[in-house]
Structure 1
Amino acid sequence: KKTEGTLISIEGSPPDLVDPPKGCRFSARCPFKIKVCTQEEPLLVPVGENHFAACHRLDEIAVLQEKAKEVDTWRKIPS
């Protein structure tokens, strides 16, 4: 994820690409996941020139970007 041009890395290991999890491949490590994230793979949508994103919460991106800047956000990864 990006905020103001800075890449925010997600802790943990990348998902198994041979046998990926159901839903969003990053949901196990995302502090912003909601139920649909674990059930349905998000669609890849254009978000800028030659830039795409796949997230069920793209309509909330500005708020999530602000929350992503807070250290406590990353300490509360849902299980």
Structure 2
Amino acid sequence: MVLVLKKVDLLKDNVARLPMMESHAGPRSFGAVVPLSALTGDGVPQLLAELEKWLPEGPQYDPNDAVTDQLKRFLVSEIV
């Protein structure tokens, strides 16, 4: 599990994050605790990097030299 703490931009300083992170984690064991602010983008790269560690690599559906005129959005919607 990854604990994501939102709205950290409302804290006055970074020192206030540590007690908040410890209190929210509680007795549970998390793989990571990531403070995040969607407003400022703070923590987004760290969250993506942490989630990438947990995601397995999927199968390759098309050969590397495949060419298409479809948008990536359409191709992903076909897989989903």
User: TM-score, normalising length from structure 2?
Assistant: 0.25
User: TM-score, normalising length from structure 1?
Assistant: 0.25
* Greater share of helix: 2
Larger Rg: 2
